[in-house]
């Protein structure tokens, strides 16, 4: 039986993470070798006064969205019902750049046609592209590497906005100007920051995970940390096994311990070892299992039935619940420690309020992830932790990209 204390993260270890994370941030900013890319984004915080109608295209996983929204100034964002969701066909994820961007441009064309926006007026578009992009300007940047299982050929090293523009030309879409390219964390931060000036960290805890913040030394320019790749963490044999069998061993180590793409598989490895049950274990199961408070753990039983395990004992179900709790709790505490590191970098003594804008399925849907993060911050900062408020910034990434487009197009 696995000793689940393997997944514990004690207060002294959170302090080690904070220190190591700060060192890596400094190294990354100084362009020294670091697991944190610390990418300058050419974006600063909005004032809240930005106005106009914009289109946002939000691509960061196999589901992507296109929406129109209007910024009303005074920190208000108007809701528009003009929105469409699309699913990227699996084959495109390992195909070539042309097919990939043609598909996206085709979806944008459908959107414009559906809402009768394809002529008469030019639109500024904010493009949220949630991968490590080395920005060269507010609306240009080259892909450094793919993450989250994407592997489209011919994109790494190239400017994603040019690739998208070429596809738009092929599809005869001529009234859309891509005026901003943004990471989802940056969109999330900017969207919350538009309404609330205390907001100074944007975090994604979903399929992937990452965070950004405005860097004082760079006149408040927002830095995309790409924290998913942080690798100064104590790993267990299960983490090492998962990493070894992943498509990119050695990369995205933190992401493999925290995000929705991997948490379920990690718990699955422990379940396999302890109970000799070999199932494809999804992160969403963890939410159902950990929320099950019934005496007989009937929800755990029904999740197991779904995966083909018709019968299970209460002892097995209890064990599975414990494993899920241990794995997700560690993920929450790692995330909280890295947030603490960023806050301490901006405000050493925690002397002012900080709103942390967070989006993503793990944060939103998991029953105890947010709570465990909060209690970890309380351990780290004591009663001063009440100055830190974590808020769900739902769909912030798309909205934020539109706001960035607004700022950029005004300039």
- Tokens 């405000």 belong to 347
Q: Which is nearer to ligand GLC, 135 or 183 (CB)?
A: 183
Q: Find out whether 228 and 255 touch, Cβ atoms under 8 Å.
A: yes
Window contacting ligand GLC (CB under 6 A); options: 12-20, 128-136, 233-241, 299-307: 128-136
Interface residue with ligand GLC among 34, 82, 128, 185 (CB under 6 A) is 185
Window contacting ligand GLC (CB under 6 A); options: 49-57, 115-123, 206-214, 239-247: 206-214
Closest contact distance (angstroms) between CB of 51 and ligand GLC is 28
385 touches ligand GLC by CB under 6 A: no
How many Cβ atoms from other residues are within 10 Å of residue 231's Cβ? 17
CA–CA distance, 42 with 27 (Å, rounded to integer): 20
Closest contact distance (angstroms) between CB of 130 and ligand GLC is 4
What the block records as the tokens of 301 is 């039983």
Q: What is the 3-state secondary structure (H, E, C) of 77-126?
A: EECCCCEEEEECCHHHHHCEHHHHHHHHHHHHHHHHHHCCCCCCCCEEEE
335 touches ligand GLC by CB under 6 A: no
Interface residue with ligand GLC among 86, 100, 131, 230 (CB under 6 A) is 131
132 touches ligand GLC by CB under 6 A: yes
What the block records as the tokens of 398 is 């798309």
Q: Find out whether 128 and 59 touch, Cβ atoms under 8 Å.
A: yes
Q: Known catalytic residue: 184?
A: yes
Interface residue with ligand GLC among 126, 187, 208, 268 (CB under 6 A) is 208
204 touches ligand GLC by CB under 6 A: yes
Residue among 335, 373, 367, 165 at smallest CA distance from 257: 335
Q: Which is nearer to ligand GLC, 123 or 369 (CB)?
A: 369
400 touches ligand GLC by CB under 6 A: no
How many residues line the site for ligand GLC (CB under 6 A)? 17
Window contacting ligand GLC (CB under 6 A); options: 105-113, 182-190, 283-291, 361-369: 182-190
Q: Which is nearer to ligand GLC, 259 or 312 (CB)?
A: 259
- Give the contact letters, 209-228, x = binds to ligand GLC (CB under 6 A), - = no: xx---------------x-x
Residue among 370, 366, 365, 361 at smallest CA distance from 397: 361
147 touches ligand GLC by CB under 6 A: yes
Q: Any bridge partners for residue 358, and if so which?
A: 203, 392
Residue in 58, 102, 159, 184 annotated catalytic: 184
Q: Which is nearer to ligand GLC, 209 or 337 (CB)?
A: 209
Describe the crossing of helices 263-275 and 314-346 by its angle, rounded to 10 degrees: 140
CA–CA distance, 54 with 251 (Å, rounded to integer): 35
CA–CA distance, 146 with 155 (Å, rounded to integer): 9
CA–CA distance, 24 with 308 (Å, rounded to integer): 44
Q: Which is nearer to ligand GLC, 7 or 227 (CB)?
A: 227
Closest contact distance (angstroms) between CB of 129 and ligand GLC is 8
Please, what is the Cα angle at 400 between 57 and 95, to 5 degrees? Answer: 30
255 touches ligand GLC by CB under 6 A: yes
Q: Which is nearer to ligand GLC, 232 or 353 (CB)?
A: 232
Closest contact distance (angstroms) between CB of 142 and ligand GLC is 13
Q: Which is nearer to ligand GLC, 65 or 148 (CB)?
A: 148
DSSP per-residue codes, 131-194: S-EEEEETTEEEE----TT---BT-BTSBHHHHHHHHHHHTT--SEEEEEEE-HHHHHHHHHHH
Closest contact distance (angstroms) between CB of 299 and ligand GLC is 28
Q: Known catalytic residue: 148?
A: yes
Closest contact distance (angstroms) between CB of 365 and ligand GLC is 15
Interface residue with ligand GLC among 184, 215, 290, 325 (CB under 6 A) is 184
Write the DSSP symbol of residue 378: H
How many Cβ atoms from other residues are within 10 Å of residue 292's Cβ? 19
Q: Which is nearer to ligand GLC, 46 or 228 (CB)?
A: 228
Backbone angles phi, psi at 22, to 5 degrees: -65, -40
Binding site for ligand GLC (CB under 6 A): 60, 130-132, 147-148, 183-185, 204, 206, 208-210, 226, 228, 255
Which active-site residues does the annotation give?
148, 184
């Amino acid at each position: 039986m696995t000793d689940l204390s393997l997944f514990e993260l004690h207060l002294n270890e959170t302090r080690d993470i904070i220190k190591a994370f700060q060192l890596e941030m400094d190294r990354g900013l100084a362009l020294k070798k670091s697991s944190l890319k610390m990418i300058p984004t050419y974006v600063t915080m909005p004032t809240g006064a930005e106005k106009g109608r914009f289109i946002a295209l939000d691509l960061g996983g196999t589901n992507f969205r296109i929406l129109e929204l209007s910024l009303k100034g005074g920190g208000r964002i108007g809701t528009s019902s003009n929105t469409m969701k699309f699913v990227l066909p699996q084959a495109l994820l390992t195909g070539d750049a042309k097919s990939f961007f043609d598909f996206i441009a085709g979806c944008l064309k459908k959107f414009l046609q559906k809402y009768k926006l394809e002529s008469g007026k030019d639109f500024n578009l904010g493009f949220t592209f949630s991968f490590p992009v080395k920005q060269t300007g507010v609306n240009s940047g080259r892909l450094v590497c793919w993450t989250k299982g994407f592997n489209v050929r011919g994109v790494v090293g190239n400017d994603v906005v040019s690739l998208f523009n070429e596809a738009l030309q092929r599809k005869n879409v001529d009234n859309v100007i891509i005026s901003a390219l943004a990471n989802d964390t940056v969109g999330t931060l900017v969207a919350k920051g538009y309404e609330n000036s205390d907001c100074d960290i944007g975090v994604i805890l979903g399929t992937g995970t990452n965070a950004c913040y405005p860097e004082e030394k760079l006149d408040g320019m927002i830095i995309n940390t790409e924290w998913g790749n942080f690798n100064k963490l104590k790993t267990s044999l299960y983490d090492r096994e998962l990493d070894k069998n992943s498509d990119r061993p050695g990369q995205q180590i933190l992401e493999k311990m925290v995000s929705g793409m991997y948490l379920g598989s990690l718990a699955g490895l422990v379940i396999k070892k302890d109970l000799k049950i070999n199932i494809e274990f999804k992160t969403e199961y963890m939410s159902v299992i950990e929320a099950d408070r019934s005496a007989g753990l009937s929800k755990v039983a029904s999740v197991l039935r779904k995966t083909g395990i018709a019968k299970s004992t209460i002892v097995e179900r209890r064990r599975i619940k414990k494993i899920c709790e241990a794995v997700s709790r560690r993920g929450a505490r790692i995330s909280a420690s890295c947030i603490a590191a960023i806050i301490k970098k901006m405000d050493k003594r925690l002397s002012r309020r900080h709103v942390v804008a967070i989006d993503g399925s793990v944060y939103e849907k998991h029953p105890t992830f947010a709570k465990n993060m909060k209690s970890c911050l309380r351990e780290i900062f004591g009663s001063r932790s009440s100055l830190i408020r974590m808020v769900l910034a739902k769909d912030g990434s798309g909205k934020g990209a539109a706001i960035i487009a607004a700022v950029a197009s005004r300039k």
